Amino acid sequence: MFTCERVLVFILFITSACWTEQVREIECSRATQTVCHCNSHDAVVRFNAAPSKGYEKDVGSKTTIRIMNSQILANPKHNFSTSSLYKDITLVAWDPAPYNIDLHKWYQQPDYDLFTPYITHRKNFPEQPFYILHPSFIWKLWDIVQSNTKDNIQPNPPSSGFIGIVMMMNFCEEVHVYEYIPSMRQSKLCHYHEKYNDAACTFGAYHPLLYEKLLIKRMSTASEEDIKKKGKVTLPGFSKINCLL
Ligand SMILES: *[C@@H]1O[C@H](CO)[C@@H](O)[C@H](O)[C@H]1NC(C)=O
């Protein structure tokens, strides 16, 4: 049997002090328009149960990393242990532990039981990279969203989208995000792969989505036209930003 410490794989995370500087730095670099044409799309991150099969024309076919909330692992309707969506890629799972995280308590009582399917999957596919995000990373992101607005945001964790964007800013020199900031194609549709309408999916109810999106838009170096036509924002990776200024 695994102990709590052995099950958790901690991903590197940034400090909020550094982020504050980064936001400023990004705003400076936007003025000078230094655009770095790196090998674009070395990695593609997808979210929760979003498929590419059947939607390739719009979303491409490559998947490198899938970031999932704990419901994807815990709810049998997602077929986590058998679905090809979760095979042959890097997986990152998260669960909204309480703000004042006690890892042992969380392990005993996560919001949705992600640890049991995690352990089973690790045993079945020991070679597959599969991480659980440290909850303090999630709440640090929440603190950053809160510290960038005068409003009191809801005390719920940021969305998988926001978590994934910041995670990729850790790994990549440049991050492109599509339709997180809605383009002129904006609709009430929640997900491109489901016929389910609810404007809260775009602007938030449980997650502080509106505030996450304003922050991402503020950091973006993409043109207004890119946002309007493609819903595309461009973000520099943290390695491209000098935090020490
Ligand atoms: C899960 O598996 C069942 C049984 O094979 C199938 O009917 C269902 O469509 C699958 N659901 C998903 C989301 O893959």
C-alpha 32/C-alpha 67 separation (Å) is 33
Q: pTM here?
A: 0.79
List the residue whose alpha carbon is closest to atom 7 of ligand 1: 77
List the residue whose alpha carbon is closest to atom 5 of ligand 1: 79
List the residue whose alpha carbon is closest to atom 10 of ligand 1: 79
pLDDT at site 208: 86
CB neighbour list of residue 88: distance below 8 Å, 6 or more residues apart:
128
* Three-state SS at 97: coil
C-alpha distances in Å from residue 231, one per residue of 73, 106, 107, 108: 29, 36, 38, 40
List the residue whose alpha carbon is closest to atom 9 of ligand 1: 77
List the residue whose alpha carbon is closest to atom 4 of ligand 1: 79
Any idea where the domains of the chain sit in the sequence? 4-173
- Total Cβ atoms within 10 A of residue 17: 9
Helix or strand holding residue 94 (H, E): strand 90-94
* 36 CA → ligand 1 middle, Å: 43
pLDDT at site 91: 93
pLDDT at site 244: 60
- Total Cβ atoms within 10 A of residue 151: 9
Number of H helices, E strands in the chain: 11, 6
Q: What is the DSSP letter of 128?
A: S
* 65 CA → ligand 1 middle, Å: 22
pLDDT at site 28: 34
pLDDT at site 35: 29
Residue bearing tokens 């709810």: 75
Our CA angle for 211, 214, 219, nearest 5°, is 130
- Total Cβ atoms within 10 A of residue 1: 5
* 190 CA → ligand 1 middle, Å: 20
Q: Which residues line ligand 1 (CB under 6 A)?
A: 78-79, 83
Q: Does domain 4-173 have CATH number 3.90.1480.20?
A: yes
Residue 47 contacts residue 177 (beta carbons within 8 Å): no
Nearest ligand 1 atom to the CA of 78 is 13
* 191 CA → ligand 1 middle, Å: 18
For residue range 71-123, list pLDDT tens digits in order.
999 999 999 999 999 999 999 999 988 888 788 889 889 999 999 999 999 88
pLDDT at site 23: 43
pLDDT at site 84: 95
Q: What are phi and psi of 129, to 5 degrees?
A: -65, 125
* 124 CA → ligand 1 middle, Å: 20
C-alpha 3/C-alpha 21 separation (Å) is 37
* 79 CA → ligand 1 middle, Å: 6
Task: From 75, 78, 79, 191, give the residue whose CB has the most ligand 1 atoms within 8 Å, as the site to mutate.
Answer: 79
pLDDT at site 243: 62
Residue 89 contacts residue 64 (beta carbons within 8 Å): yes
Q: Which residues of the chain have pLDDT under 70?
A: 1-40, 197, 203, 243-245
List the residue whose alpha carbon is closest to atom 1 of ligand 1: 79
pLDDT at site 7: 36
Burial of 6 (0-12, 13-18, 19+ CB in 10 A): exposed
Our CA angle for 120, 159, 56, nearest 5°, is 75
Nearest ligand 1 atom to the CA of 49 is 13
